[in-house]
Structure 1
């Protein structure tokens, strides 16, 4: 039975691969470097927008990180409204609140200013504002019939790549399910990779979001839908992450390292736009839905376990990643190099004080978590090796605190 199911999943991934090749994948105009966020705001003004909703979280608002953008908008005669109710793992309720502000203030553009949660919420607000569907009805693949409100993004963390990805993720607290909105119409018009915005990130957030970017790149590289283009982006992202993440973690004021991580995150998202993701995200999304675990942290905890599970099936690809990072020696076999790559990921997690287990994980929840993770993964991700319910439960048990 499992073999028949596997063939069915592979057929779904074959169709998915055809769709990825056929459907155009837009890319945002990118402003990069210190103060590039202000250049983006000038671009918004030059495009003639007059009423902008900024979607962000309360902490960034209180810290004053929006002040420069708001001042520039004011100088340009643009009216600004701020929705700062986004929390980690944004909910449909938060999307509705932002949507009400769009309508009440007759906004003609949206600026997402924050991490992946703020950008994901802004994506769904943008689409819901112009499509005759509720936010819940937009969950799924290509559900939006018309483009959303013009959307712009300033990521304040280097990890999610939401500023360029083709999807958004929103949670339903009642069911613990993650709603995935996949559509090229979610891609912002323009984005700014501004390292100055990221200088104040605490080390723990720097670490978790950095491993989030690494996870995107690695899963794209191990994907059965990987292409030469996605490989180039993924390899660049992996090398940039290993070069810059420790530096940014140790010294949050290191502008060069912050910019390196911002670019690594951007490249990783370009990679998974083409090649998709895998089991790490399938499980991590369930941790977020059940326990509100920040997505980057969930990915960081899960990643080494999935790499061990996939080691035999993806030995050659992991060996290539090890070679790209100058791990091992020319005489090492692919099996040895693959293990050295996994060990390097574990060492990086340890250096960044990423926990090996999830304290909030309840063993009674594991069957439901495994079931949901497999459903998401098998219908959405081109994994190089399939696992069943029993295997998934055993793997998740290893992450229980």
Structure 2
């Protein structure tokens, strides 16, 4: 764990509008920027309600964002961006839409290909404005400078990190999340929590981020069950939107760790939604990390309103039951993952060093395989 004597860099969108109804403020911002034409990047559901944004300018809509977007999905939206010549890109949806919007914003009109910018700090200076409007409470992508896209040939996630992908404005309107069904609310809520937990227990954990991380967990503990039970609970939706935003704050300077590394192959290989994958893996990795993060694990349990636990099996049991109580499927076998693929999944997860190297306790390939088998 790092301390106050460790330098850290934190970036935020220069404008963050937060609260029910703030989506109405986007039009004034667009007008002030003298935007001529907007390209909205969305999934099918949100493409059908683009009028909600009321941008006030000519708008082109790409409404084919896929869960766990891949290279062909990115290429398709880039083709539309080239034709539209928009000077504003709007990510409107969950993390997939916002990640594609980030990539389009730095690739459109620059001549850069994805392979040119994979890694850290390789993207050219952005030529267009970027606005992010989340409609789920999970990824916190609206606040960050990373984007992920899957290579269908290798089934690996390609990660791009650049300050050029930081949104000019983030519109975090909890009212836009009211239509999210209970199962997705639960899974994305646990994803937001996992961002916070993995940052809080991370080898790179920093006191400047810890306050966001722990508060994000508390917000999930306070509001997630309420939002799952009653999706029209505005306060609960707002609490989760804030938790998601705080999780996004954690991702830039600290990032996630073992939990996300183990969750990624579930999405890339078997197309399990990112939130559901993280929720299923979360109790296993939290319990595994207990010997290396005993005090902070206790803080996590307390923040979630769970009883104190000092043994690995007790940490696992209470967090597993918590996730299951939200209606989340906690068995890989029930999500269509074949048992004979666990070895390959372990290979894939073990190769994600950018995250595994952050984990407070070393996760050997044998440990990863054991977790997959226990989760099966």
TM-score interval, smaller chain: over 0.9
Q: Is the 8 A contact 2:10 2:252 kept in 1?
A: no
Alignment of 1:62-141 (within 5 A): 62=48, 65-69=49-53, 72-73=54-55, 76=56, 78-141=57-120
**Residue 182 of structure 1: how far off its partner (Å):** 1.6
Residue 239 (structure 2) pairs with residue 263 (structure 1): no
Residue 364 (structure 2) pairs with residue 388 (structure 1): yes
Distance between the aligned counterparts of 1:22 and 1:148, measured in 2? 28
**Residue 143 of structure 1: how far off its partner (Å):** 1.6
The secondary structure found in structure 2 opposite 1:31 is strand
The partner residue of 2:346 within 357, 370, 375 is: 370
Distance between the aligned counterparts of 2:315 and 2:288, measured in 1? 14
**Residue 378 of structure 1: how far off its partner (Å):** 5.3
Residue 331 (structure 2) pairs with residue 357 (structure 1): yes
Counting matched residue pairs gives: 372
Cα 1:324–1:390 change in 2 (3 A) is closer
Q: Is the 8 A contact 1:167 1:181 kept in 2?
A: yes
**Residue 381 of structure 1: how far off its partner (Å):** 4.2
Distance between the aligned counterparts of 2:132 and 2:355, measured in 1? 29
**Residue 380 of structure 1: how far off its partner (Å):** 6.1
Distance between the aligned counterparts of 2:67 and 2:124, measured in 1? 28
Residue 44 (structure 2) pairs with residue 58 (structure 1): yes
Residue 20 (structure 2) pairs with residue 41 (structure 1): no
Cα 1:390–1:380 change in 2 (3 A) is closer
Aligned Cα RMSD in Å?
2.2
What 5-or-longer segments of structure 2 have no aligned partner?
A: none
The partner residue of 2:156 within 169, 177, 193 is: 177
Distance between the aligned counterparts of 1:251 and 1:307, measured in 2? 28
Distance between the aligned counterparts of 1:339 and 1:130, measured in 2? 53
315-324 or 253-262, which moves further after superposition? 315-324
Distance between the aligned counterparts of 1:291 and 1:234, measured in 2? 29
**Residue 369 of structure 1: how far off its partner (Å):** 1.5
Residue 192 (structure 2) pairs with residue 205 (structure 1): no
Deviations 1:141-190 (A, max 9, x none): 22213235211011000000000122111012222111111222222111
Distance between the aligned counterparts of 2:97 and 2:241, measured in 1? 16
Deviations 1:189-248 (A, max 9, x none): 111111111111110110110000010000001001111111100111000001110111
The secondary structure found in structure 2 opposite 1:277 is coil
TM-score (norm 1): 0.87
Per the alignment, residue 218 of structure 1 pairs with: 197
Distance between the aligned counterparts of 2:103 and 2:138, measured in 1? 20
366-375 or 52-61, which moves further after superposition? 366-375
The partner residue of 1:346 within 311, 315, 320 is: 320
Distance between the aligned counterparts of 1:23 and 1:217, measured in 2? 17
Per the alignment, residue 243 of structure 1 pairs with: 222
Distance between the aligned counterparts of 1:324 and 1:211, measured in 2? 13
**Residue 343 of structure 1: how far off its partner (Å):** 4.2
Per the alignment, residue 278 of structure 1 pairs with: 257
Distance between the aligned counterparts of 2:259 and 2:320, measured in 1? 15
Deviations 1:292-336 (A, max 9, x none): 1110000001111111211111111111223445554xxx6x726
**Residue 346 of structure 1: how far off its partner (Å):** 2.0
Q: Is the 8 A contact 2:255 2:355 kept in 1?
A: no
Distance between the aligned counterparts of 1:93 and 1:354, measured in 2? 30
Per the alignment, residue 5 of structure 1 pairs with: none
Q: Is the 8 A contact 2:120 2:161 kept in 1?
A: yes
